[in-house]
Amino acid sequence: MFLALKEMRRAKVRFALLMGAIGLLVFLVLFQQSLQNGLITGFVGGIRNQSAPVVVYSVDGRRNLQGGVLLPELEAQVRAVDGVGRAGRLGLSTFTVEAGGKQADASVVGYDAEGLGSPANLVKGRLPSAVGEAVASEVDASDGFDVGDVVTLMPGGYTITVVGLAADVQVNVTPTLFATFDTYEAAVRSRFGNADAVLLPNALAIEPVAGVTPAQLVERINAISDEVDALTRSDAATKAPGVSQVQTSFRMIFVLYGLVVPFVIGLFFLIVTLQKTGALTLLRAIGASTSKLVIALLIQVLVVVAAGLAVGVLLYAPVSQAKLGGIRLRFETTAVIVWTVVVIVAGLVSSIFSATRVRHIDPVDAVGGGGSR
Amino acid sequence: MKLALREMWRRPARFVTATIILSLIALLLMFLGGLLDGLVRNSTGAVRAQRGDVIVFSSDSKDSFLRSTIDAELRSRIEAVPGVDRTGGIGIIQLGARVPGKGVRDLADTALFGYEVAPRGVPDTVPPLGQAYADSTLKASDVDVGMTILLGPRRTPITIIGFVDDTNYLGQSSLWASPATWRQVVSENRSVEALADGTFQSLLVAGDGSLSASKLSSAIDAATSGTTRTLSIDAAANAIPGVKEQTGTFNQILGVTVVIALAVVGMFFALLTVERTGLYGVLKALGAGNARLFGGVMAQAVLVALMASAIAAVLGFIADMAIPPGTVPFELGVARVILSTVLMAFAAVIGCVFSLKRVLRVDPASAIGAGV
């Protein structure tokens, strides 16, 4: 151990370079993990954290809340399904708004009643109780969406007062306002001004009767027509367009990074071992056992990997608190633990090649100058 | 340099590990870059295909096609601006399309454009009511020329009369139809969003050549007293939701990945140089200069980086072919491969600088009696 650490002290730059490289790799992986989760929460957090256990889209909507409308005849059929307790309309539209003195994009979600699409994670204030009130996504509070702030929708000039904040309820990676359906309708009409046109809901929010599970109700609703697409709350979030694409893309990136880490560590220690073969031969000749040399190698690997992980996590910690565009990043503790284990195991596995080299060193080579080779 | 290349030729095993690691890093660069290119291309094709100089939005739309409205009165003010040659209204609606022969729940994502000035690849004559040119990505959904697809919950029929490439909008396959068709589809499927006759969402403007795009934009916005916001075609493409954010984030990740490549090259060649210190002493004693020795190290590093890039490019193109359409928006082009290769070569050159000090420090006198 003494030998291993002393060598590291004497070749600081060499080992620091490797720690830095591992640190950057760990940082990148963790940052992208946060980015992936932040992106998904930004896209579908408002679906995942709304209160209705079942969401019913029209097939045309392609599981995108803003993408389709439920025609009146279809809505009536769904409401009549055995097992439907309460049902309410859901609507989503995006607007240009003026909030906090600046223009911004914002989404307005309209729902009929508490428990049928209202935001579930209220962290401040209250749910809207009157037309012109809304709960905003907490992450956007500092951008003019805090409790008491008035948001003006353009071009109609319709105003919505924020009366509450809810966590992780963004949709479309924009500030999101959850309001009653009446507020939503007034907002949409203020933009288009088609007073005669009927505003159809984008989806229905359903609560099953007691004794019927959301999964059972989904099955019953989907059986009534090929036009409806009923999903449980969690499926509505995970099967939303783009979510699986984001996950697959990031998974491939993580696999590639996961492959680079052991190669970098393995290459480094293999070269270091090759370089000091002479010295190791002499150590073997004067009585140092193979296990002692291998342990010294493993200690170096562990120290370098641990330091690299520390560098990576230290770089990641402040970045993980940032807001990237409209995306709120988070410190992903699970990802840190998983990648710590992965990198340590990868480091130890990659040192097998160097350990094999050390084991094959023959002390007899030291006699006759082999040791200085 | 010849000596360095000969070493690589005679002892390739020495460079295999570095080549493998750099291949993985180059593959990461190309994969990340390919993802970015795929995402951006899939979102912006319809805008990039516009044959004009600038696109005019209403100023309260935040450059969103879907939230902008330009009415006939505003349009006539824009057309009166000196330097404006011709204008064309643009309207968009995004809907699911039912394709004959496909499952009842298997819809294709489409964005129907009503246009007056044909985009690149679309004939100048606007199609008759109910007909449209389709982006070729719809072929993956078994759409063919002459087929009638049904749009939206009201099943508005649209007959496909031809295909056009690289015109997708926000990841959806575009359909290019007359303004009348667009108005019909909107009023049937989203009546609340229907716009009055003569009103479009945005306006494509082609200048007469007397003004640059930026001056034309300024002139239009001044003439409308700020009720419009006019962007160049590239700026309008970048203003599509998510494009700027995706580009910025991916470029930062690519930057850090290049730094990792630089560290790996630096580490590898610094160690290789340490190994050869004795040999360099002998070569210097025989008259080889620092420039020659360092040039050899750099040539090896660049060659390893180029080989790694070539391997990564092959793997990248295989991945591009193997990934099923619609799963991952990956698109690896020659430009991306060249850019990644240049970045890898750059990382190799900079990484080698770590070895320069060691090469300079080698004393030819050390060759005398050294156990080389």
Give CA–CA dist B203/B199, Å, rounded: 10
What is the percentage of chain B residues whose pLDDT exceeds 90?
56
Mean pLDDT of A56-82: 92
Nearest to B328 among A188, A252, A270 (CB): A252
Predicted pLDDT at B1: 64
Instruction: Tell me A50's DSSP state.
Output: B
Predicted pLDDT at A258: 84
From chain A, the residues in CB contact with B244 under 8 A are 325
B54, containing H or E segment: strand B54-58
Instruction: Kindly determine whether residue B253 and residue A31, on different chains, have CB atoms separated by under 8 Å.
Output: yes
- B190 to chain A, any CB pair closer than 8 A? The answer is yes
- Name A206's bridge partners: A54, A87
- Is beta strand B131-135 parallel, antiparallel or unpaired with respect to B173-177? antiparallel
Instruction: Kindly determine whether residue A249 and residue B328, on different chains, have CB atoms separated by under 8 Å.
Output: yes
The band of B369, judged by pLDDT with boundaries at 50, 70 and 90, is low
Instruction: Kindly determine whether residue A154 and residue B31, on different chains, have CB atoms separated by under 8 Å.
Output: no
- B158 to chain A, any CB pair closer than 8 A? The answer is no
Q: Model ipTM?
A: 0.74
From chain A, the residues in CB contact with B257 under 8 A are 28
For the stretch A101-116, what's the b/e string if a residue is b when 16 or more beta carbons lie within 10 angstroms of its beta carbon?
Answer: eebbbbbbbbbbbebb
Under 8 Å between Cβ of A265 and A305: yes
Instruction: Kindly determine whether residue A197 and residue B259, on different chains, have CB atoms separated by under 8 Å.
Output: no
Alpha carbon separation from B191 to B16, B91, B272 (Å, rounded): 64, 14, 71
pLDDT tens column, B138-171: 998 999 999 999 999 899 999 999 999 999 998 8
From chain A, the residues in CB contact with B22 under 8 A are none
Instruction: Kindly determine whether residue A28 and residue B260, on different chains, have CB atoms separated by under 8 Å.
Output: yes
Under 8 Å between Cβ of A265 and A301: yes
From chain B, the residues in CB contact with A221 under 8 A are none
Give CA–CA dist B226/A237, Å, rounded: 40
The band of B372, judged by pLDDT with boundaries at 50, 70 and 90, is very low
Determine phi and psi for A319, rounding to 5 degrees: -65, -35
Instruction: Kindly determine whether residue A256 and residue B264, on different chains, have CB atoms separated by under 8 Å.
Output: no
From chain B, the residues in CB contact with A274 under 8 A are 275
Give CA–CA dist B235/B194, Å, rounded: 27
Under 8 Å between Cβ of B180 and B130: no
- B328 to chain A, any CB pair closer than 8 A? The answer is yes
- Name A90's bridge partners: A111, A203
Chosen from B60, B253, B320 to mutate, greatest number of chain A CBs within 10 A: B60
Under 8 Å between Cβ of B292 and B1: yes
From chain A, the residues in CB contact with B66 under 8 A are 94
Under 8 Å between Cβ of A163 and B68: no
Nearest to A263 among B24, B94, B190 (CB): B24
Instruction: Kindly determine whether residue B371 and residue A372, on different chains, have CB atoms separated by under 8 Å.
Output: yes
- For A59, which residue in chain B has the nearest alpha carbon? B105
Which range among A185-189, B170-174, B228-232, B287-291 shows the weakest confidence by mean pLDDT?
B287-291
Residue B21's Cα: distance from chain center in Å?
A: 26
Residues 286-315 of B with CB under 8 A from A: none
Which range among A99-108, A199-208, A357-366, B25-34 shows the weakest confidence by mean pLDDT?
A357-366
DSSP string, B156-175: EEEEEEEEESS--BTTBEEE
Residue A282 distance to chain B (closest CA, Å): 16
- B251 to chain A, any CB pair closer than 8 A? The answer is no
Compute how many other C-beta atoms are within 10 angstroms of the C-beta atom of residue A314.
12
Chosen from B141, B271, B353, B357 to mutate, greatest number of chain A CBs within 10 A: B271
Mean pLDDT of A96-116: 95
Determine phi and psi for A52, rounding to 5 degrees: -75, 130
pLDDT for residue A372 is more than 70: no
Beta strands in chain A (DSSP E): 54-58, 84-99, 102-111, 122-125, 133-137, 150-154, 159-166, 176-180, 203-208, 228-232, 323-324, 327-328
Give CA–CA dist A37/A32, Å, rounded: 9
SS3 call for A240: coil
Instruction: Kindly determine whether residue B329 and residue A245, on different chains, have CB atoms separated by under 8 Å.
Output: yes
Nearest to A275 among B64, B189, B274 (CB): B274
Residue B186 distance to chain A (closest CA, Å): 12
Angle (nearest 5°) at CA A69 between A218 and A48:
50
Non-local (6+) Cβ contacts of A10 within 8 A are none
- Is beta strand B108-115 parallel, antiparallel or unpaired with respect to B131-135? unpaired
Instruction: Kindly determine whether residue A24 and residue B260, on different chains, have CB atoms separated by under 8 Å.
Output: yes
Residues 104-133 of B with CB under 8 A from A: 104-105, 107, 109
Under 8 Å between Cβ of A314 and A28: no
Mean pLDDT computed over every residue of chain B: 89
- B261 to chain A, any CB pair closer than 8 A? The answer is no
Compute how many other C-beta atoms are within 10 angstroms of the C-beta atom of residue B283.
19
Instruction: Tell me A205's DSSP state.
Output: E
Predicted pLDDT at A228: 94
Residue A51 distance to chain B (closest CA, Å): 26
Considering only residues B24 and A114, tell me which one the structure prediction assigns the higher pLDDT.
A114
Give CA–CA dist B84/B360, Å, rounded: 64
pLDDT tens column, B277-308: 778 888 888 888 888 888 888 888 899 999 99
From chain A, the residues in CB contact with B264 under 8 A are 21, 264, 267
Residue B316's Cα: distance from chain center in Å?
A: 16
Under 8 Å between Cβ of B312 and B340: yes
Residue B328 distance to chain A (closest CA, Å): 5
Nearest to A187 by CA among A266, A324, A94, A57: A94
DSSP string, A94-149: EEEEEETTEEEEEEEEEESSTTSS-BS-EEEE----STTEEEEEGGGGGGTTSTT-
pLDDT for residue A12 is more than 90: no
User: DSSP 3-state helix, strand, coil percentages of chain B (rounded to 5)?
Assistant: 55, 20, 30
- B70 to chain A, any CB pair closer than 8 A? The answer is no
Q: Which pTM does this prediction carry?
A: 0.81
